[in-house]
Each structure stands twice: as C-alpha cells, then as structure tokens.
Amino acid sequence: MATVQTDQVTLTIDGQSVTVPKGTLILDAAKAINIDIPIFCSHPKMAPVAVCRMCLVEVEKMPKLQPACAVYVAEGMVVKTTTEQVAKYQKGVLEFLLINHPLDCPICDKGGECPLQDQTFQYGPGASRFEFQKAHFDKGVPLSDKIVLDRERCILCWRCTRFSEEISGERELALIQRGVHTIIGTFNDEPAQSNYQGNWTEICPVGALTSRQYRFVSRPWDLDRTASVCPGCSMGCNIQLDARSNKIGRFQSRENLAVDDGWLCDTGRYSFPNFQRLTQDRPQIRRDGRLERVTYDEVIAFTADALKASGQLAGWVSPAASNEELFLFQRLFREVLASPNLDHRSAVLEDAEPDDMTLPIADIEHCDQVVVLGGQDVIDAAPVLHLRLFKSQRKGVNVLKVGAADVKKALDAVPAEAQGVGILATEANKKAAVELQGKLQKKVKGSVRRLIVTTGPNGRGAKDLGILPHRGPGYVSLNGKSGKGRVEWPGAGVKALYVHESSPLHGFVPTDAESMWLSALPLVVFHRFKPSPLDEVAHVIIPGHAFTEKDGTVTSMEGRVQRIRKGIDAAWVREDWRVFQEIANHLGADWEYESVEAITGDLVRALPPYRAVNEGARVLWSESR
C-alpha cells in the first residue's frame, strides 16, 4: 500500500533488523525480509480487521500477543514470530478453527490450494481434542447461479463480506446471526446479483465459496497454468488460464495493479466455456450447395484463388484477434489483395485516435473528478472499471455517472478548480465525450483526459493496426485511398467477404439487412474457432484457434500491449496467422514468418510505439509523433 510519509522506521523481527516506511504493518515488514506470518482474515486490499487471530506475535513491551495484520511498526520495536508462546497459540487457534470445520478436504474443491489446509499442516496440532458434535450448517447453498456456499467450511474471516463492502461496494453479502451461529449470506437468501462473485472464491481462505463451474473439476496440482489476458472485454485484466487434460478448468485472476488490481468480473471469468473446443472440425468448401471436408492446403488454395477472382473484396476481423493476426490480415488485404475495405467494427463509429486513451486506468484514482458518460453502459462494457471507480471514490475522487446525453449536466457539475478530470465513455458515446472534454478544458484549471472503452479484448489493437477503412497502421491517413466500412458493404458492390473471428464473444453478428446480403453474396469465407450460425451462408469454412489457444499480443482500451498465451493445445488446427501467410504466399507474396514472435518483431518495426509490448506497457503515441 502506498504511503505518503517518507519517514522510515527501523525495527527488529526475529533478530533481523528491517527498515520500512512509517505506517507499515508488522505483517508487511516481516514479509519484506521473507518472514512469513500466517494469516486468514488479512488481505492487502482491505482494511485490517484482526478477527481470525492467526497472526498474533510477540511484541516486546506489550503484555498481550499482537495481531501483526493490524499493528503498525514503530521505531525500535522488537517483534518475535516464532517463540514457544506464539507457536503454542497458533496451534490453539487452528484447533479452534477446525472445531467447526468439516474434514472433507478430499472432496473439497479448495483442497491443495487451501490456506487452512496448508497452515494446519505447517502450524497446527496433530489431532483435535474436540469430542463433541460440530455446529451444523447448510452445505451446498446455491448463493447464485455462479457460486455455491458451504457454511460449515466457512471460518468467518470476513474477506467476502468486506469485499462486498469495501471493494465492490454492493454490500450484498453480510454476516447474519452471531457467535458460533454466525453465517454469511445474502438478504433473505436471495440469489446474489453481483458481477464480481468469482473474486469471493479466490479470496476465501477455505472451500466455503466455490465456483459452480469448477465444482469437482480438478485438483490444483493437476492444472496446467498459463498466464494470459481475459478475452471478455477491452479492460485487459490479467488471468491465469487453468486447464486440465487440455480443457479449460477456470480463469483465475493474476494481479496487475495497473489494470485489474487483482480482480476479475464474472462476465469475463465465467466466459471460458465459450472457448471450450467441443468438436474437431475440418476445413470445408461448399460444393453444389453442400459443405465438403477438405485439407488445409486445399482450402487455402481455393480461398486464395476465389478471393483473387472475386473483384470487390471486404475483410472483417474481430476485435478479439491478436495484434499479430490483425497485422497480417491487413497486410493480406492491403498489400496482397489490394483491397481497402477493412473493418473490425459493428457499426460506423466516431473516428478512432490515440487521444482516446490519454487517461490510463490506474490514473482514475488520481483524478479529483471522474465523469462516467453513459453511466452503467460504461460499466457493462468493462465491468472491472467499477471496482477501480469505487476504490477511487473511497479515496475521495468524485465520480459522476450521467447519461450520454447529459453533457451539460456533467459540465455544470465539475468545479472549475478541479485539478484532474477524467472522462470515461464507450465507443458509441465518443462524440459526446470529446465534446465534454473540449468544454471542460476551457472551464477547469487542471488537465482533462479521456478513456474510451473499446469493444472487444483487442478493439484498441484493431484501431492501432489500421483495421479500418480509412486509416492505416498507426492512424495514418490513406491519402484518398480509403475503402468502405462494414455498414456500407452491402451497398458498395462487394462481392466477397472474409470474416475472421476467434472469439464467440466478439463475433460477426449480422444485422437483418446484412443477413439478406450475405446469403446472396458469391463468396463468404468464414475463418472461425467453432461452428456458428454463419456457417449456413459460408462457402468456405476455415477452422481457427480460439483466444485461449494461441500466443500473441492484445492491446487494451488504455493502450497496454499484453501477451496472451496458448493455454490449450489445438495443434491439429492450423494457426490463423499461418493461414493468412499461406493465402498471401499462394498469391505470390514471400512472407517467411516462422513464429508469432517474428510477426511481433515485424509489427514493432512497422509501428515503433508498439515496442511497449516488451514491458506490457502502454503504447505512448505522443512520444513518437
């Protein structure tokens, strides 16, 4: 936790001297010198409560043991964490916790990654001396359609209820009853509505709160864990993709303080079944009205020739494709097929520009005024933003949620003496956001920055890399060689369409008018991860990789370039980038990419601001312009 004081305090913990900033907890000071003090209730994102009493340590001159999670360091303090008294007491508190905790570890989803299990092993008593009936509570309570609650396993650490109060602010979970009868629950046992429930399962130090989707799926030691990025939206939350037997088991958070602050939303977390590969489909070509299975080589040759022969072409690539795919896709269209009709969007939206991301996510906390233009629409588009906004509010930031039409209201509400103003809006409301920004810049003393929530996990990348009819990579103008955007295609004499979508969450969903047009189109190439209704109108189907099955990079709404990694091996499916390269080469190009990394390297050469990829940092366009 950041502290404003620069004063340093020196203390001794288990004989080692350590110097930490004033305002540091004993627990954190110990951590700084690799002394591990066991905890259950303490959580770095939440105010200390000191309820579990697991972290009690000896502090010289204090008569009682002190909770390391709640006592701040002082100059000259002498702390002892491994004395006989402490050890005896740790055994005592674990024995207490186990009195009413069932011994069902073998069938508990938390088994193997359970702090209670681990600490019992390390610090606990060998056997329990408790010889009475345990207090019985409900097991398997459906807290919502996402979470199941086992009230017997709960050790009342208050983490989930504090999350509900301090992190999401929804105050949906509460402690009910008192004493040994205390339980956690929602009001009147109504299903929990929060979009952040999955986080409860991660902060729960026992198996009381577990995800229904992960019930009995795997043991942690059987999981293959891959660091990646959530495919849910453009927030760019970091995830751990946990797979078992080459099947996705779950998405877990992987803290990135600048982005997600350690949290995920349920929309993203529980989206993984969409990426589960159900069938082993093959490339297909429609002949005499029927789709026939062919080889990759056949489909590539056929597609290349058909595209070449089609005349007016259009290409749509989903905002969930990787930067490397996007880069090659636009090269294929612009350089090889000489078609300027490129798009990744669903509708015509305001022009995209680097100024759309001058406000980094983490800087929301450092604004004094934040206008959420469009209110809940913005949160729905990137749910984890709510947690950042709520955190900011608790720190004193004034967060104003207004309708997209309420520019005037927002303008009036922001005081002239504001030092730092942030504006958040979705792509659909960009125009209003720009208008508000302009007016506020005239009104207020401080800076006014905006952050436009892009659509799709790589909508920003698609814009940066010029998957637009009127902009090339790096937002360069096409000097009168602009093509047509998606909504114009049906009326522009387009004869062939190549749709590439790797995410069922951000697919090509045709409007009614488009459906009619598509069914009459001479050539529809559909390059996708799994069967979809669009297969019906496709002449060519090329199976591709899911978001979770490939390596590459994606760019979040704030311009942060982050790596996604292959968590599931679908080796029999040809990599999407390789398909693009082979189509290009079939048509006379001489691309020689051997790996994704090679494409990334080329991409950075073509677009120097993208060197940010090496640090997982934000692309800083202003420096290069």
Chain residues binding another protein by CB under 8 A are: 48-54, 56, 63-65, 70, 88-89, 92-93, 95-97, 99-100, 129-130, 132, 135, 155-156, 170-182, 186-188
| Closest to 616 in 3D by CA, of 236, 245, 290 | 236
Assign 167 to helix, strand or coil: helix
Q: Closer CB to another protein, residue 101 or residue 566?
A: 101
* Min dist. Cβ of residue 189 to another protein (A): 9
Beta strand 78-80 pairing with 8-13? parallel
Do residues 206 and 153 make contact, with C-beta atoms less than 8 angstroms apart?
A: yes
Spatial separation of the C-alpha atoms in residues 496 and 481, rounded to whole Å: 19
C-beta closer to another protein: residue 187 or 276: 187
Tokens standing for residue 307: 């595209």
Does residue 328 contact residue 510 with C-beta atoms inside 8 Å? no
DSSP string, 318-354: -TTS-HHHHHHHHHIIIIIS----EE--SS--PPP-G
Q: What is the DSSP letter of 245?
A: T
Entry field: residues in the chain: 625
Q: Please, what is the angle between helix 84-99 and helix 115-123, to 10°?
A: 140
Q: How far is the CB of 58 from another protein (least distance, A)?
A: 11
Measured from the CB of residue 44, what is the shortest distance to another protein in angstroms? 17
CA 189 to chain centre: 29
| Amino acid occupying residue 107 | I
Distance CA 70, CA 300 (A): 64
User: Which residue, 19 or 182, is less far from another protein as judged by CB?
Assistant: 182
Q: How far is the CB of 167 from another protein (least distance, A)?
A: 15
* Closest distance to another protein from the beta carbon of 153 (Å): 14
Q: Please state the closest distance from residue 135 (CB atom) to another protein, in A.
A: 7
Residues 6+ apart with CB under 8 A from 482: 340, 469, 470
Of the pair 180, 520, the CB lying nearest another protein is at: 180
**Pair 524, 538: CB distance under 8 Å:** yes
How far apart, in whole angstroms, are the C-alpha atoms of residue 33 and residue 17? 9
User: Rounded to an integer, what distance in angstroms lies between the CA atom of residue 226 and that of residue 235?
Assistant: 19
CA distance 452 to 425: 5
If you search the block for the tokens 């002449």, which residue do you land on?
539
Q: Which is nearer to another protein, 195 or 322 (CB)?
A: 195
Closest to another protein by CB, 190 or 412: 190
In angstroms, give the least distance from the CB of 118 to another protein.
Answer: 17
Cβ 174 to another protein shortest distance, Å: 4
Q: Closer to another protein at the Cβ: 131 or 592?
A: 131
Q: How far apart are CA 430 and CA 428, in angstroms?
A: 6
Q: How far is the CB of 62 from another protein (least distance, A)?
A: 11
- Which is nearer to another protein, 175 or 516 (by Cβ)? 175
C-alpha–C-alpha distance, residues 271 and 250, integer Å: 9
Q: Which is nearer to another protein, 74 or 476 (CB)?
A: 74
> Judged by CB, which is closer to another protein: 111, or 125?
125
- The nearest distance, CB 299 to another protein, in angstroms, is 56
Alpha-carbon distance of 13 to 22, in angstroms, equals 15
Alpha-carbon distances of 455 from 66, 203, 343, 344, rounded to whole Å: 49, 29, 13, 10
Beta carbon of residue 84, minimum distance to another protein (angstroms, whole number): 12
Comparison of 89 and 200: residue with beta carbon closer to another protein = 89
Residues 439, 411: Cα–Cα separation, whole Å: 7
CB of 424 to another protein, least distance (A): 25
Which residue's structure tokens are 């398997």?
Answer: 140
Residue 132 or 572: the one with the smaller Cβ distance to another protein is 132
Per the CB < 8 A criterion, the answer to whether 56 and 87 are in contact is no
In angstroms, what is the minimal distance from the CB of 141 to another protein? 15
SS3 (DSSP) at 284: strand
Which of residues 130 and 492 has its CB atom nearest to another protein in the complex? 130
Residue 70 vs 227, nearer CB to another protein: 70
Supply the minimum distance, in Å, between the C-beta of residue 170 and another protein: 8
In this structure, what are the phi and psi dihedrals at residue 457, rounded to the nearest 5 degrees?
Answer: -65, -15
Residues 522, 139: Cα–Cα separation, whole Å: 58
Q: How far apart are CA 562 and CA 617, in angstroms?
A: 7
